[in-house]
Amino acid sequence: RRAAGTCFKCGQAGHLQNDCKKNTTAGTSGQADKKPGTLGRVFAITEVHAANTSGGAPVLFVKKKDGSMRLCIDYHELNKITIQNRYPLPRID
């Protein structure tokens, strides 16, 4: 059994489930090694910079039908804690 006041994800006390450290590099190391230079090309083409933050989103490569790789970012956890607008802007039309 889980002790009272402990996190559901890691089982440690003293923090909320949203504050629990997430695996932000799931699936990238093995997939990036299969296609050498894939991540380097992404950094060269776009204005992407490496960051070391406590919050982040899991990033992984998915193979396309033509064999090239697509960079995918999973924002499910971020969407769960994002506060929606209470009164959205009305439509102009």
Q: Which pLDDT band holds residue 28 (cuts at 50, 70, 90)?
A: very low
Backbone angles phi, psi at 57, to 5 degrees: -130, 145
Residue 14: name the closest of 29, 4, 25, 23 by CA: 4
Q: What is the arithmetic mean of pLDDT over 17-35?
A: 54
Does any domain span residue 75?
yes
30 against 90, higher pLDDT: 90
Q: Above 70 in pLDDT, residue 72?
A: yes
Does any domain span residue 91?
no
Does any domain span residue 11?
no
- Give the domain extent around 58: 22-81
One-letter amino acid of 38: T
Q: Count Cβ atoms below 10 Å from residue 34 Cβ, excluding itself.
A: 10
Contacts of 78 (CB under 8 A, 6+ apart): 55, 57
Q: What is the arithmetic mean of pLDDT over 51-70?
A: 78
pLDDT score for 29: 46
One-letter amino acid of 24: T
Number of domains in the chain: 1
Phi-psi region of 54 (alpha: psi -120 to 50; beta: other; left: phi over 0): alpha
56 against 29, higher pLDDT: 56
Does any domain span residue 3?
no
